[in-house]
Copies of this chain bind each other. A is one copy, B any other.
Amino acid sequence: MRTSAEENYLKAIFSLAEQNGKGASTTAIAAHLRTKASSVTDMVKRLNEKGLVDHRPYYGVSLTDTGTQVATLIVRKHRLWETFLVNHLNYRWDEVHDLAEQLEHIDSVDLHDRLDKFMDHPKFDPHGDPIPDREGRMVDMAGAQPLSEVAKDTLVHIVGVKDSSPAFLKLLDGLGLKLGTQLTVNRRFEYDNSVEVSSRFRSGLLLNEQVSLNLTVKAL
């Protein structure tokens, strides 16, 4: 039996590893889960005993193969539910995260396979993140990069958001930016790393570094 708490740790370690490449530090995990480092140490010990993580004290935590597999299937569930909530229950993309955090712990592979089929095997969730299939495979995001790294005058379109917080998503909504929106970088300002972009509907839109780092785009 796996508990929700364990699953949340696995997911946190998974997503920290995805970002940093390296093993996740105790403090990083604690920050990510809004918990205390001592709690992390405890839980990591348990997960290690279950063969789900490797842990070299003071060096970091990483998922084992089975740990990665488990984490990927939780991510699958999370993204399937987000997709369902947005596409079928008319939630907005900034409303679904917390609900999906609950739903992702439902223990049934079959249910999620059926949900997947019901939605016709969607490849991406509402934030542009790829949905792993039942074997954990997902489309690779080669060619995707943060808007902050796009060269001047390149035509791109938005394929994802790195930050799925309601605040960020509402900001994008307010600027008329959503998945699929086509953008061109007009100018880049060294002063604060802000960029000026134009879309079909709006030109001369100034985006600060925080925004451009969190917008994932792909050349067209």
Residues of A within 8 A of B (CB): 85, 88-91, 99, 102-103, 106-108, 111, 114-115, 118
Contact = CB atoms under 8 A, between A and B. Distances in A.
Contact of A89 (B90, B99, B103, B115): B115
B111 A89 contact: yes
Closest 3 CB pairs of A and B: A89-B114, A102-B106, A89-B118
A106 B115 contact: no
Contacts of A99: 106, 108, 111
Contacts of A85: 111
Nearest to A113: B89
Contacts of A114: 89-91
Contacts of A118: 88-89
A107 B102 contact: yes
A111 B103 CA distance: 11
Nearest to A102: B106
Contacts of A89: 111, 114-115, 118
A107 B118 CA distance: 23
A102 B103 CA distance: 9
A85 B115 CA distance: 9
5 contacts: A89-B111, A89-B114, A91-B114, A99-B106, A102-B106
A99 B110 CA distance: 10
Nearest to A107: B102
A91 B108 CA distance: 13
Nearest to A118: B89
A161 to B, nearest CB: 23
Contacts of A115: 89
A111 B106 CA distance: 15
Nearest to A117: B89
A72 B107 CA distance: 24
